[in-house]
Amino acid sequence: MNPKELKVVFGENYNIDVAYKNFTVKTDQPVRDGGDNTAPSPFDYFLVSLAACAGYYALAFCKERKIPTEGLGVTMTTERGEVSKMIDKISIAVDLPAGFPEKYRFALLKAVDHCTVKAHLMRPPQFEVVARP
């Protein structure tokens, strides 16, 4: 399989798998949208990818500086617009481990802010949708 290719595989009802690299990512839709709620929805994965990316950067920052990570935490929250129902705000809170060096506080937050998933939202790619015979 081409490492840049993601292959959609349709299952029962709204169960849709995506083959990527050597992984199969399972998705479904909530019952209210006709699915069986057996896996996260694609939009859930979008949100999860942002939170996991932020967590990776926080963890990597500490590990690279040999700062103990016990108690390190990352929590992401979202706020939707009342009219648009789209997410208007994403907040990422980093819980610092006990004894975290104050001199690294700002640098850690900057590291988390450089999450590559977020960077792609800030400078989105062009999209092309085509039909093949």
pLDDT tens-digit profile, the chain (133 residues): 677 999 999 999 999 999 999 999 999 999 999 999 999 999 999 999 999 999 999 999 999 999 999 999 999 999 999 999 999 999 999 999 999 999 999 999 999 999 999 999 999 999 999 999 9
What's this model's pTM, rounded to 2 decimal places? Answer: 0.91
The class (CATH top level) of 41-124 is alpha beta
Q: For the chain, first and last CA: distance in Å? A: 21
Q: Which of 124, 126, 123, 118 is nearest to 49 (CA)?
A: 118
Q: Give percent helix, percent strand, percent coil of the chain, each to the nearest 5.
A: 35, 25, 40
Rounded to 5 degrees, φ, ψ at 120 are: -70, -30
Q: Which residues contact 116 (CB under 8 A, 6 or more apart)?
A: 53
